[in-house]
Amino acid sequence: MAYKFQSIESKWQKKWAKDKPFKAKQPHQFKDKPKPPFYVLDMFPYPSGAGLHVGHPLGYIASDIYARYKRHKGFNVLHPQGYDSFGLPAEQYAIQTGQHPAKTTEVNIKRYREQLDKIGFSFDWDREVRTSDPNYYKWTQWIFSELFQSYYDTKDQQAKPIDQLVAQFQAEGNSLVNAACDDEVSHFSAEDWKAFTAKEQEQILLQYRLTYLAETEVNWCPALGTVLANDEIVNGVSERGGHPVMRKKMKQWSMRISAYAERLLQGLEQLDWTDSLKESQRNWIGKSVGAQVKFKIKAHPDTIEVFTTRPDTIFGVSFMTLAPEHELVQQITTPEQKEAVEAYIKETAKRSERDRMADVKHITGVFTGAYAEHPLSQEPIPIWIGDYVLASYGTGAVMAVPCGDQRDFDFAQHFDIPIPNVFQDVDISEAAHGDKDQTIIANSDFLNGLNVKQAISKAIERLEKIGAGQAKVNYRLRDAVFSRQRYWGEPFPVYYVDGLPKLIDVEHLPLKLPEVEKYLPTEDGAPPLGRADVWAWDTKNNQVVENTKIDHQTIFPLELNTMPGWAGSSWYLFRYMETEQRDEVFASAEALEYWKNVDLYIGGSEHATGHLLYARFWTKFLHDRGFIQVEEPFKKLINQGMILGESALLYRWNYNSSDKDKNIYVSKCIIDDCIRKEDYLINHSDTVSKQIYDTTQNEMITSTKVSLSHFTPIHVDVSLVNTSNELDIEAFKKWRPEFAEAQFIKNEDAKLIVSREVEKMSKSKFNVVNPDEICEQYGADTLRMYEMFLGPIDQAKPWNTAGLSGVHNFLKKLWKLYHNGEQFEVSNQTASKESLKTLHKTIKKVTQDIEDFSFNTSVSTFMICVNELTQQKCQHREVLEPLAILIAPYAPHIAEELWELLGHSNGISHEAYPQVEEKYLVEDTKTYPISFNGKMRFTLDLSLDLSKSEIEEAVMKDERTQKQLNGRTPKKVIVVPGKIVNLVG
C-alpha cells in the first residue's frame, strides 16, 4: 500500500480537531491527583499579510515535538498559540487602503490559522489569545493601572501600592523615603505635603509611579507628522518618502524598568537560558560601579553631574563633554560661542542615536566658551559639546580623561586639547591607556603611587568628604518609553484633568479603541486618536462620550497615545493558563498556582533584549504586588535560528541604445565566462553574438570588457527558476507587465541561468517558500522532519526545497516497514537480537537528542534505524510498535495511522514513551583506531575486557604495526582503553 500522506494527514487533522486530544486540563478537571504540568510556549506570531513562510514554523515544530514528547512522558502539557495582533504593518496598510486594521488583522489571522492547521501542531486552540481583542487588552490596561498605582521601594527592593507612599509623605515628608523616582525630586516635609494642593501632590506622585509621564526624545518627521522608529529611518531620512527626520522632545508615558535593573540582573542566575543570551541581557542592563561627581561651573550657579567608572583618573580630566541636548548647554554657552553651538545642535538633531554611536571616525564637537572647576585641583576645565555623548546615557555628560579613554583621547587630539598623563611609566603619545590591572596612578596629588583599585576608593572618599560626589552604581538600562503615536494599539485607560492624568476605574475597562475616519496623525501633529469624535471620558456615567461634551468639570479628554507592541506580549503567558474565568481575572489563582510559569519557551534571538526583558519586568512587578507567585516568566529558553531564502538574481544588461532603454537579460554563465576570460560579450560565441545583434538591432556596441558593473541584478520569483538555476522564460514574461517585452541572451543550449544568493526570506526578495505548498506536495510530516533535519535549531540556515525528497523517501521507507507489498503486515514473533539492538540504540539516542534539543541528529538517527531495520527485514511488532511512538512527536500523522493499523483505537498521543533496555546495547569489542604519531593508519578489533598492556601487546603483535614501524621501536605507546591507541616515535 502506497504512503498516501494527503488522506492520512487530513484524516488525523480532522480527528484531532474533533476529539481534542491536546486539550490541557485545569487542575480541578482531574478526577484523581492532577498530572504534573508542563508548559511549552512559542513566541506568538504577528499575523502579517504575507502569511507564513517556511521559516516561521521552525520554532513551532521544535516546541511541538517537545510538547508531544512530554505528553508521552505522562505530563499534562499546556501548549497554546495566539496572535500578537496589534502592530505597525496593519496600521500602515490601513493608512494606504482605508480598511480598518481589525478587519485586515482578522483576515490575516484566518490565513495563519489555516496554514498552521496544515502542519499538524498539537496546540490547544481553546486557549487562544489575541492582544488586540478588547477582552484581552482589558487586562493589559489593568496592569498599566496597577503600575500607575505603584511605586518601587528601593530598600525592600519591591513594588508597593502608591497609597503606602502617600501615607509616608503625610507622616514624614520624603527625605527618608527610599523609592525609585525621577532625578529632579525636591525635598519636602510632612507639613509641606499637607500644604500642597491636590495638583501639586499629584505632580509629585507622578515622579514616583512605576509608569509616569516624562519628556523623552523621539524621531520626529515633520512631513509625515509622526514619530518614526529607528527602523523606519534610512540614511537619516524617512524610509517612506525620504523626508527629513529630527530629534525632538515629547511628553510620553514611560515605564520605570530601571528600578528593577538589579533584580533583572540577579534573576538571570537561576534561568536555564544560553549563556550568550544571558550575557546579552547583562550587557543591556549594563551595571557599572563608579562615582557620581559634581563639577561647579565658573560664574554660573548650576553644577554638571557626571558618572565615571574611573574616579582614580580624575586628575587627568582636561575637558568635559556634554551631549548637545544637555539642558545646561543653552544656559552656559558664552555669547561668542552661541552661533557655533546652535549650529552644531541643529546638525546633531538630524543624526540618529545609532549613527552617533556607530560613527567613531568622524570627530565633531564645539566649545561652549564656559569652564567648569575641577573639584579637587580647582583648575578651570573647558566645557565642550560633542555628539559622541548621548543625552539618554547616564547623565548626558562626561568628565573627559583623554589619557585613559580612547574616545576622549581622539577628541582631545582632534581639537588640540592637552592630554595630561596620570599613569606611571605609561606611554600615551599614540593611544589612551585603558588597562586597569598593572597601572599605578601618577601626577595626581594624593593618589600618586596607588594602584587603580586603591585610587578609586581614595578618590571617592575625598569627593564625598568635600561634598563633590559619591560612590554610585549606574545602569545602562533606561526607562522604557511606553507611548506610541499610533492607532492600532491598546488605548491608555487615562483621561486628563487640568493636564494631569487620572485613571479610569478598573470596573469600566476595557476602554475600547474609538472609530476614526483616517489612521493618520491629525493636521496639527496629534496622534490618530486625535481624529476620534467620541473620545472623552464622562466621570459621572463612566463612559466614553462625544468630544464636544468636554467641560473639564465632569467630562474630560482621553489620552491620545496608544501602548507599544510589547505591552500585550509582556504578560500573555499567564493568560493562556486561564480558561473559564477570563472575564473576571487575568488568570485565576488556581491556574497560576498550578501552571506557574513557562517551562520551555522557543522563539527568535531578535527578542533577546526587548520582549524578554520587558516580560521579566512585568512578571516581577505582578509578583511584587501579589498577583502571581513566580518571579520569572520563562524557565528555559531556546532560540531558533532564521531560515534564509535562496534568492534568484537575473542579470539585466545596463545597455542604453540611442532611442530607448533596452530590456535585455543575460545568462549568468555567459557573464561569468567573459569575466573569467577578460573578454567582450560579443566575442563569447557565435550564438551569443547573433543574439546580441538581434536584440540590439545591429547597433554598434562600444563596450568595454565585461564586468559585473555592466549588469543590474534583479530579484525574480524563485518559483520561476528550477533547481538547476534555469529561468522559465515564458513564465517570467507573464510574471509582471514590465517583462512582457524582455529580450534574452541565452547559453548555447538555449538556457537562461540566474545566480543564487542566500538572504533573509522576504516577500520583497521574491524568495519566499510557503509551508502549505510543501504540505500539499510532500505532506506535513515531511515538512516537519525536514525543517528539523536542516540543521541545529539555533543556527541560521538556508532553505533548499530540493532536499525535501530525502526526508520524504525516509517516510516512505518507514511506511514500507509495516507493509508487505500492498498489505499491512507485522509479525508477532520475537524479533532478532540485531533488530532489538537497533531499536534500543535508537530509543537511547533520540531521547537524549530531544532532551538536548538536537532535533537534526534525531532525524538522522531515525533514518539510520529505518535503513537498518529494512536491511534486517524486520517486521516485528515488538520493534515496530515502540518505533511508531518514538517517531510520533516528529511525524504525528503517519505515526497515528500506523498505530491504528497496529490495532489501537485510542490514538497514539498519550501512549507511554518506550524505555531503553541497556541489555540490548552491551558491546564486547571495540574497533580501535591505531595511530602512529597521531595519524590513524589502520583499525583493529579488540575485546573491551583487555587491559592496557594487553591492548599494547595485541597492537605490537599485529603485522601492520611492524610494517608501519619499519624496524623502529616506539618511544611511547599511548593506550586509552575503549578509545584509541597512539604509537609515538
Partner RNA sequence: GCUCGGAUGGUGGAAUUGGUAGACACGUUGGACUUAAAAUCCAAUGACCAUUGCGGUCGUGCGGGUUCAAGUCCCGCUCCGAGUACCA
Q: Which is nearer to RNA, 138 or 356 (CB)?
A: 356
Q: Which is nearer to RNA, 346 or 873 (CB)?
A: 873
Distance CA 682, CA 778 (A): 45
Q: Which residue has the cell 562600444?
A: 702
- Cα separation, 887 vs 895, in Å, equals 7
Minimal distance, residue 928 CB to RNA, in Å? 8
Phi (first) and psi of residue 844, to 5 degrees: -60, -50
Nearer to RNA, 707 or 871 (CB): 871
Nearer to RNA, 45 or 469 (CB): 45
Strands 819-820 and 823-824: antiparallel
- Residue 218: Cβ within 10 Å count: 19
How many Cα atoms occupy the beta-carbon half-sphere of 623 within 13 Å?
A: 17
Say how far apart CA 100 and CA 510 lie, in whole Å: 19
The nearest distance, CB 286 to RNA, in angstroms, is 6
Q: How many CA atoms lie within 13 A of 363 on its CB side?
A: 13
In the complex with RNA, which residue's Cβ is closer, 228 or 455? 228
Amino acid at 261: A
Strands of 388-466, DSSP E: 397-400
Shortest distance (Å) from residue 930 CB to RNA? 9
Q: Phi and psi (nearest 5°) for 872?
A: -80, -5
In terms of CB distance, is 594 or 928 closer to RNA? Answer: 928
CA nearest neighbour of 286 among 322, 317, 261: 261
Q: Which residues pair with 385 in a beta bridge?
A: 322, 366
Based on CB atoms, which residue is closest to RNA, 702 or 966?
966
Instruction: Quote the least distance from Cβ 814 to RNA, whole Å.
Output: 11
User: In terms of CB distance, is 276 or 438 closer to RNA?
Assistant: 276
**How many helices and strands (H and E) does the chain possess?**
31, 36
Is residue 131 within 8 A of residue 572, CB to CB? The reply is yes
Q: How far is the CB of 234 from RNA (least distance, A)?
A: 12
Amino acid identity of 379?
E
Cα–Cα distance between 816 and 793 in angstroms, integer? 29
Q: Is 337 exposed, middle or buried (0-12, 13-18, 19+ CB in 10 A)?
A: middle
Spatial separation of the C-alpha atoms in residues 961 and 138, rounded to whole Å:
79
Return the number of the residue (643 or 688) whose C-beta is nearest RNA: 643
Measured distance between the N- and C-terminal CA atoms of the chain, rounded to whole angstroms = 61
Determine if residue 635 is labeled as part of a ligand binding site.
no
Count the Cβ atoms, other than its own, within 10 Å of residue 141. Answer: 24
Closer CB to RNA, residue 179 or residue 761?
761
User: Three cell numbers at 13?
Assistant: 487533522
Query: For residues 434 and 903, which CB has a smaller minimum distance to RNA in the complex?
Result: 434
d(CA 480, CA 257) in angstroms, rounded, equals: 7
Contact between 211 and 147 under an 8 Å Cβ cutoff? The reply is yes
Task: Compute the residue count for the chain.
Answer: 985
Q: Which of 535, 560, 562 is nearest to 550 (CA)?
A: 535
DSSP state, residue 118: T
Bridge partner residues of 928 (DSSP): 940
Specify the pairing of strand 211-221 against strand 226-228. antiparallel
Q: Is residue 520 left, alpha or beta, with left meaning phi > 0 and alpha meaning psi from -120 to 50?
A: beta
Distance CA 60, CA 80 (A): 11
Exposed, middle or buried: residue 176 (CB in 10 Å: 0-12, 13-18, 19+)?
A: exposed
Residue nearer to RNA on the CB measure, 275 or 507: 275
Alpha helices in 678-822 (DSSP H): 686-696, 729-735, 771-777, 780-789, 804-817
Q: DSSP secondary-structure letter at 670?
A: H
**Least gap, CB of 778 to RNA (angstroms):** 11
Nearer to RNA among residue 168 and residue 439 (C-beta): 439
Q: Which is nearer to RNA, 480 or 592 (CB)?
A: 480
DSSP3 helix / strand / coil % (the chain, rounded to 5)? 40, 20, 40
Please state the closest distance from residue 802 (CB atom) to RNA, in A: 4
Cell 552644531 belongs to: 344
d(Cα 920, Cα 639) in Å, to the nearest integer? 36
Residues annotated within the binding site for ATP are: 763
Residues annotated within the binding site are: 763
